[in-house]
Amino acid sequence: SSYRRAVKYGQRDAANEILRTETLSRLSAAHTDRKGKGNPGFLYVVTCPEALSELVVSKRNLDERTISIGVGDIVNLTDLGRKMRSLGFEEVDYVYEPGQFAMRGSIVDVYSYSSELPFRIDFFGDEVELIAEVDNTTGEIVREFDAIPIWPASHYVTERPKVGRALKTISEELEGRVAELKAADKLLEAQRLAQRTAYDLEMLETMGFCNGIENYSRVISQRPVGSAPMTLLDFFPEDFV
């Protein structure tokens, strides 16, 4: 659904990113529902073996970056806007595609990857008075919620302190690897590695993510060398089969 919207609006490069983010978010939510609400929590997933082994962000990191908001909560609007931007959302006047949010007075609209339609959060002062799913064309309320989670606009969005530590570690490992290649008289390979990694480091420092960021997942997640990477299977509950 979100994948189709991305293609519709010409975001073909972003479509796979949107699909991955939506999938991880829904799996994480289903796991939470099973534990927290006491329902059977039936979860059906149709995929291919290759997708199950795809490298993804850790479930802990995704959960840490998720905003939970409910009716009656006291939320500072300025802090909420800052948090939304840190999660990779783009602030616009009116939301019309995934990954956007808009703030107009006491109303905040969020187009998350967890819903076909945008969420509208209506405040009375700093108190959340209404949370609803709205038609982004007519503005009519489709249904109301007691609470919702808002997942990052990208599942690779990482907190600034973690990025800072990762940059230092990646730079140190790069120096060692470049030295190895030069010692083996592989000068072209050393130059290519240094240039590509330097570009990735610049993107990580300025944007918080880069293309192929999954290649740095071990460093960003601070996993030990040789540890198994996180995959889609890690998002399933222990008793999923």
Instruction: Tell how far CA 118 is from the center of its chain.
Output: 17
Give me the amino acid identity at 213: I
pLDDT classification of 85: cutoffs 50, 70, 90: confident
Cβ proximity of 220 and 158 under 8 Å: yes
Q: Which residues contact 150 (CB under 8 A, 6 or more apart)?
A: 66, 67, 68, 69, 84, 87, 110, 112, 114, 119
Mean pLDDT, rounded, for 128-143: 88
Instruction: Tell how far CA 84 is from the center of its chain.
Output: 11
Give me the amino acid identity at 63: D
pLDDT in tens, 156-196: 666 667 778 888 899 999 999 999 999 999 999 999 999 99
pLDDT in tens, 45-66: 666 666 665 556 666 666 777 8
Q: What is the pLDDT of residue 109?
A: 93
Q: pTM for this one?
A: 0.61
